[in-house]
Amino acid sequence: MQYFIGIVPPDNYKKRILKFQQKWDNNELFNAVEPHITVKAQGGLTSDKNWLSKVKKVCKSFSPFHLSINEPKYFGESVLYLSVASENIYELHREIVNVVAPDLNLINKYMELDDYVPHLTLGQTNFGLTSNELKDMGNNAVRELSPYPTFEVNFIRVYKEVETNKYRKHLDIPLKNKS
C-alpha cells in the first residue's frame, strides 16, 4: 500500500481537465488518479503512517498560498503536463520531505528536493498514450485549458493506493488557519 501527497485544483478546473483527458480513448490516467499537483511522492510514506502526524504538524504551521497553473510542457516524449508557478510549493515540498526523511535513493527515485518540478500531468505513455497522441494533446491543451487559473492552496490531499496504480483520496489536511 502506497501513499502520496498532492494539491487539487479548483473543482471547476479539475472537471475541465478530466473532460479534456477523456477525449483520448487510450488515456487511462484519469482512471488512475484525479488531476493533482504532487507535493510529496511515495518515497517514505509507508503503510505504518508514522509520517502522517509529522506532515500534519508541517501543515499546521504553513500558511495558505497562491499557485498558478501555466502552459503545457513535456518530460521527454513520455509525459505531458501543465506547468506550475509558486515559490511556496517548493518550500512546502522541502519541509514535508525533510520531516518524512526518506533515504537518498528514494529522494533520487522520485525526483525530490533539488530535482522537484511541480506539475499537473495530463497524459503519459505509461498510461496508454503514444508520443504522437501526447503531442496532439499538448497542442489542444493550449486552446482548451487556457486561461490557466491561479488559486489559493489551503489544504493538501493525501492519496492512498486502492489497487495497483489506482489512487483515491485518503485524507485532506488543512494548512495554517488564517486568524
> Domain total for the chain?
1
What's the rounded mean pLDDT across residues 172-179?
Answer: 85
Say which CATH number the domain at 157 has.
3.90.1140.10
In a domain, 179, yes or no: no
In a domain, 93, yes or no: yes
Q: Which domain holds residue 25?
A: 3-174
For residue 178, is pLDDT > 70?
A: no
In a domain, 91, yes or no: yes
In whole angstroms, give the CA distance from residue 11 to residue 4.
20
What's the rounded mean pLDDT across residues 39-52?
Answer: 95
Q: What is the pTM of this model?
A: 0.93
In whole angstroms, give the CA distance from residue 19 to residue 39.
24
What's the rounded mean pLDDT across residues 169-178?
Answer: 92
In tens, the pLDDT along 56-108 reads 999 999 999 999 999 999 999 899 999 999 999 999 999 999 999 999 999 99
Q: For residue 57, give Cα distances in angstroms to 51, 52, 107, 159, 166.
A: 10, 9, 21, 18, 27
In a domain, 105, yes or no: yes
